[in-house]
Amino acid sequence: MMLDYQSLLLALGVSAACLMVTLFGTWFSRRADSFLLTLVISLFLIVAGIAAYSSFTAQSGIAPAAIAYALLMCGFSTIYAASVQFRTGSSPWRLAGVLSFVSLALGMPLILVGLNGLGLIIMNVLTAILLVGTGCQYWTARKEAPGPLVGMVVLYCISGFSFALCAAVLIADGRLSLKEAPTNWAEDLNIGICIAGMTGIGALSLALHQWRMAAIHRHEAMTDALTGLLNRRALFDQYGGRKLNASTAVIVFDIDRFKTINDRFGHSAGDEVLKLFAQDMMAEMVPAASAARLGGEEFAMVVGEVMPGRAERIANAVRMRFAARDIVIDGKLVRCTVSAGVSVGLPEGQPFEAVLNLADGALYEAKRAGRDRVEIASYLRSIPPSPDSRTSA
């Protein structure tokens, strides 16, 4: 029986070590998901803890039991911290340290005074809590990647339940001090579940990493790297081909005399101006709106659910905010302005591309009229306002 149990421990240790190497290689190839490195460190502690526990099963003693307890509790605490890191992006080490300290404080004194049975009960209970808690963290974040995350939740919770079973059997046995490591059906079941769970969690962790990488690539493909706004492609993917009615407006902005800024101060200064204007656009954004950089110094905002005249007020708010901004370049105070054109769809609807072109035409009217102003598409001026529009204005 002891030989079988030792073989199971060996298999568990090898499985954890292989997973550790695989996750490290995955993290090392692209170090975007730092939670993978945290998992690697936790698995290193667990593999060392399994080796120490195997020594405890071969020869009872305080030292092997204490070392195994310390390593395993630190490892499982770090696994929980990795799940919090995945969900929040925060550093895991403070949390891992606190959990490890609390776990050691609860069980280590008991093992050191010879109450290793009670110490193992506490170890199993704490491990069950940490694993179920890890599952809860991934459950909270499940919207990001439902498939892999729900699978990980199930596996972590089942593994936690198997540790709870080990604690229950030890409690039923009633011995506070053990002459040798416990061997019973619950321990065998626990190791079997952990081997299977380790394999499954490893595969799902890799799938989750790939899912995140694909999401990052999609985000990079749809985002303007300089300003963080949507790029032209993303804007057309979102609205291209759609019909916009009279409650949806398109505003096109163009920074005035932007080429002069680049020629006088250099492209790095021009990039800074573009970023500052993007900030001013975002500051005036309303909930049902999207902002994009169309290219160069041209930007667009699509605003949904607007009352008559609201889009023009938003455009003017952006214009005045940007004009009032103090921009310091090479120690010199520079004032920049922006022109804008506004258009909305007709009540029966117009393609997005047509509304965008009309807003672009209004923009050039603003440029010709002296810049630093907002113009609405000329066809809107010829449409008499409805009674509701007069009231809203």
Alpha carbons within 13 A on the beta-carbon side of 325? 24
Cβ atoms of residues 381 and 361 within 8 Å: no
Cβ atoms of residues 64 and 70 within 8 Å: no
The alpha carbon torsion through 299, 302, 306, 309 (nearest 10 deg) reads 30
**pLDDT of res. 379:** 63
**pLDDT of res. 380:** 55
Q: How confident is the model at residue 318 (pLDDT cuts 50, 70, 90)?
A: very high
Mean pLDDT score across all residues of the chain? 89
**pLDDT of res. 387:** 41
**pLDDT of res. 383:** 45
**pLDDT of res. 389:** 36
**pLDDT of res. 385:** 46
The ranges of the chain annotated as CATH 1.20.1070 are 2-222
Query: Alpha-carbon distance 94 to 91, whole Å?
Result: 7
Query: Alpha-carbon distance 369 to 366, whole Å?
Result: 5
Q: Scan for tokens 């949390």, then name that residue.
A: 95
Asked if the model's pLDDT at residue 152 lies above 90, the reply is: yes
User: Mind listing the pLDDT tens digit for each residue in 23-36?
Assistant: 898 888 777 778 88
The ranges of the chain annotated as CATH 3.30.70.270 are 230-392
Cβ atoms of residues 119 and 182 within 8 Å: no
Amino acid at 156: Y
**pLDDT of res. 202:** 84
Cβ atoms of residues 68 and 83 within 8 Å: no
User: Mind listing the pLDDT tens digit for each residue in 160-197?
Assistant: 999 999 999 999 988 888 888 888 899 989 998 998 88
- Which of 2-6, 294-298, 354-358 is least confident? 2-6
Asked if the model's pLDDT at residue 382 lies above 60, the reply is: no
* Domain 230-392 class, CATH top level: alpha beta
Counting other chains too, the contacts that 1-9 makes at CB distance below 8 Å and 24 or more residues apart are: 1/183, 2/57, 2/183, 4/188, 5/57, 5/183, 5/187, 5/188, 5/191, 6/54, 6/57, 6/58, 8/188, 8/191, 8/192, 8/195, 9/50, 9/53, 9/54, 9/57, 9/191
User: Mind listing the pLDDT tens digit for each residue in 79-126?
Assistant: 999 999 999 989 999 999 999 999 999 999 999 998 999 999 999 999
Cβ atoms of residues 46 and 12 within 8 Å: no
Q: Could you confirm whether domain 2-222 is CATH 1.10.3210?
A: no
User: How many CB atoms are closer than 10 A to CB 193?
Assistant: 18
User: Mind listing the pLDDT tens digit for each residue in 343-366?
Assistant: 988 777 889 999 999 999 999 999
User: Mind listing the pLDDT tens digit for each residue in 194-251?
Assistant: 988 888 888 888 888 788 778 777 888 899 999 999 999 999 999 988 999 888 999 9
Asked if the model's pLDDT at residue 391 lies above 70, the reply is: no
User: Mind listing the pLDDT tens digit for each residue in 321-348?
Assistant: 999 999 988 888 888 999 999 998 877 7
**pLDDT of res. 214:** 80
Q: How confident is the model at residue 3 (pLDDT cuts 50, 70, 90)?
A: very low
Q: In the chain, at which residue ranges do the beta strands (DSSP E only) sit?
A: 230-231, 243-244, 249-255, 289-295, 298-303, 327-329, 332-334, 338-344, 350-351, 374-376
